Amino acid sequence: MKLRGLYAITDSELLAGKFLSYVEAALEGGVTLLQYRDKSSDEARRLREAEALRNLCERYKTQLIINDDAELAARLNVGVHLGQTDGPLSPTRALLGSKAIIGSTCHAQLALAEQAAKEGASYVAFGRFFNSNTKPGAPSCSLDLLDEAKRTLHLPVCAIGGITLDNAAPLVAHGVDLLAVVHGLFGAQSTAEVTRRARAFNELLKI
């Protein structure tokens, strides 16, 4: 499949009390990838929520990605996104198989992306590009890095970190394939606004 479009990432605190309704509203507006990101240690709840998201994603023909948890991804037969502290990517590729979508956090370093590509990543993620509520301490990324990545990598490039409808256009102009958004999508006052934002992000990417 072609990995291009809006990459919606859940936030348990931001979506408390409206989790599935807001996610479905985003899917209604068009989402290429949906990442379930939950840092809690409540495994039963995480499994329950991930299963609910998988069912929703199947209905909307969207790919579900699990953040940091290859075992849960394998259990649900979905993709996974790995950070730099999650170890090498190759064992995860062996666990999930050749068709699974596996993403890799590469911060602001092209060398990390090149290594991820060698190990079988499906896409690489650079960021943060703007001030981020989710990862305020992450190193900042330049648009030049995107240009370099597009020249040297033959993989979809994802941008993450503080992305909103107001600041996403330059990222698209520099060749980004996936816009990963948390607050800029789900920090809305209503489900209708979530759907509107999702559609607007896809319009920027000409989806």
Query: Could you give phi then psi for residue 44, rounded to 5 degrees?
Result: -65, -45
Rg (CA), the chain: 16
The angle subtended at Cα 52 by Cα 46 and Cα 56, nearest 5°, is 140
Establish whether 132 is an annotated binding residue. yes
Establish whether 86 is an annotated binding residue. yes
Cα separation, 144 vs 175, in Å, equals 11
Establish whether 37 is an annotated binding residue. yes
Establish whether 166 is an annotated binding residue. no
Cα dist. 201→3, 80, 88, 193 in Å?
Answer: 15, 23, 32, 12
Establish whether 42 is an annotated binding residue. no
Establish whether 133 is an annotated binding residue. yes
- Asked if residue 128 has a cis previous peptide bond (ω within 30° of 0), the answer is yes
Establish whether 105 is an annotated binding residue. yes
What sign does the dihedral 164-15-178-194 (CA atoms) show? negative
Establish whether 152 is an annotated binding residue. no
* Binding site as annotated, residues: 35-39, 67-68, 86, 105, 132-135, 162
* Binding site as annotated, residues for Mg(2+): 68, 86
